[in-house]
Amino acid sequence: MKKLKLVVTISAIVVLSVVGFTVAQSQLARREVATVTVTPTPTQTPTPTITASPASITGGGASFVNPQMQLWIRRFMESTGGRIAVNYQSIGSGAGEAKWLEGALDFGVSDIGISKAGYQKLVDSRRRFIQIPIVAGSVAVIYNIPEFARAGCELRLSGEVVADIYLGKIIKWSDPRVAELQDSRCRAHLPDREIYGVHRSDGSGTTALFTMYLTLISKEWAEKVSYGYTVTWPRDQMGLGEGARGNEGVSAKVLNTPYSIGYVEAAYAIQQKIPVAFIRNREGRFVKPDATTVSEALKRAAVDLPGPQEFWGDLPLKYYMNREGENTYPIVGTPVAFMYLDAPRELRLALYEFFRWVLTEGQKAENIVEGFIPIPEALRVKALQYLEALISAQ
């Protein structure tokens, strides 16, 4: 009896290990396909993998747009009488993209567009898809200087100064390069204190937008740090910075730490009434993020928006940020939705109907969650044009 038990247990372990190993192997093989650059896959024809029923679509991705997506879905389903059921899962930009690539989601939403790794996979699989901007976003620089709050002053910064603060080249608030940006009354109120640099510790689209802007403005930042969901922060290494989770974590840390600086999604800063710094734009004017200044930037970007199948991972960097115009806020982006053109026709039609509603009715003030900003007319027209491909595709 004892022997039998032993044999059963051992053989079971062996069987399971073999199963586990084959699973692991197949996973490995998949990963290898994904990482190898441009392998021709002649046997692989573009086959639609989505199996959701035509009247229900499932999407997922960026958590920042989640409140807006949920409102849109509710209003859309009210207006269509629930004929098309939409479901959005807030799982993060990277995960949304990966799940969409696997075919588990009908559409994905990312804070900045499909990443380099994901775009490579798409090119390799030769699947046709479109990307469209769905709402406007921007990043606000927030700060906590008690002296300024007491004197009723508001901080002014330039991209170069923000980059040098996070690079660790500007140590104190009283640095002449910070002082020269302030108006004469407030200059004297800058404290002789070390700046404490707070940043997102979790990978986020907000960090991606913020670091893209610094990459665009500062050559040194571009060389030393560059941009992405997560970067290495030089100021941390000097013991003058730390990370916090989420927009709420960063704003709480800045509010509770005198002489700190941070960055959050502008919608969040406006909702929470945190002091927001003016940023110097291309024309040398100091502007804050709001509906007007963000729209100004995106309006101009609509003219040269690249095609819906191009690489959009650096879209904000190349087209949205630091645009001309007196009243233009420089750190802007748009969450991007993406979907396949070779999906079944019923699914494409459902997606078309939903996103068409989002880009028309959905952009009206009553369908926008407080703090979010609708995308300007010019960009909306362009996005609707791109969306037409869902119908014309074969």
Partner 1 sequence: MRRALSLKRFLDVFKLISITNFILISSVVLVVLVLFATSLPIVLRDGVSPLIHSIWNPVSEEYGFLFALGGTVVTASLALAISLALSIGLAAVYAEYIPDKLRPVVKNFMDLAASIPSVIYGLWGLKVLSPVLRSYVMEPLVSLGLSPYLGHPSPTGTSLFSAAVLLAVMVTPLSSSIIRERLVSIPMHIREALYSLGLMKTEVVLLELKYIRRSILTAMAVSYSRAVGETAAVAMVVGNVVNPYFFKIFRPGYTISSLIADQYPNAEAYYYMVPALFYAALVLFFISLAVNFLLLKSGERT
Binding site for partner 1 (CB under 8 A): 1, 5, 8-9, 12-13, 16-17, 20-21, 23-25, 27-28, 31-32, 35, 63, 91-95, 97-98, 115-118, 196, 201-204, 225-233, 236-237, 239, 241-245, 249, 253, 256-260
* Strand pairing class (56-61; 107-110): parallel
Q: Which is nearer to partner 1, 230 or 272 (by Cβ)?
A: 230
CB of 91 to partner 1, least distance (A): 7
Distance CA 112, CA 317 (A): 10
**Is there a contact between 220 and 153 (Cβ–Cβ < 8 Å)?**
no
CB of 239 to partner 1, least distance (A): 6
Residue with token string 């928006």 = 305
Q: Which is nearer to partner 1, 17 or 292 (by Cβ)?
A: 17
Q: Which is nearer to partner 1, 220 or 290 (by Cβ)?
A: 220
CB of 93 to partner 1, least distance (A): 6
b/e 328-352 (16+ beta carbons within 10 angstroms → b): bbbbbbbbbbbbbbbbeeebbebbb
Residue with token string 């960097």 = 317
Q: Which is nearer to partner 1, 191 or 325 (by Cβ)?
A: 191
Per residue, the 3-state secondary structure of 92-106, as one string, reads CHHHHHHHHHHCCCC
Distance CA 293, CA 290 (A): 6
Q: Which is nearer to partner 1, 115 or 363 (by Cβ)?
A: 115
Distance CA 40, CA 269 (A): 47
Cα 113-115-118 angle, rounded to 5 deg: 115
Per residue, the 3-state secondary structure of 180-243, as one string, reads CCCCHHHHCCCCCCECEEEEECCCCHHHHHHHHHHHHHCHHHHHHCCCCCCCCCHHHHCCCEEE
Q: Which is nearer to partner 1, 253 or 300 (by Cβ)?
A: 253
Q: Which is nearer to partner 1, 200 or 348 (by Cβ)?
A: 200
Q: Which is nearer to partner 1, 115 or 247 (by Cβ)?
A: 115
Q: Which is nearer to partner 1, 62 or 359 (by Cβ)?
A: 62
CB of 104 to partner 1, least distance (A): 12
Contacts of 149 (CB under 8 A, 6+ apart): 275
Q: Which is nearer to partner 1, 13 or 303 (by Cβ)?
A: 13
CB of 317 to partner 1, least distance (A): 13
CB of 137 to partner 1, least distance (A): 16
CB of 300 to partner 1, least distance (A): 28
CB of 174 to partner 1, least distance (A): 17
CB of 13 to partner 1, least distance (A): 6
Question: Which residue from 118, 99, 115 is spatially nearest to 107, judged by alpha carbons?
Answer: 99
CB of 226 to partner 1, least distance (A): 4
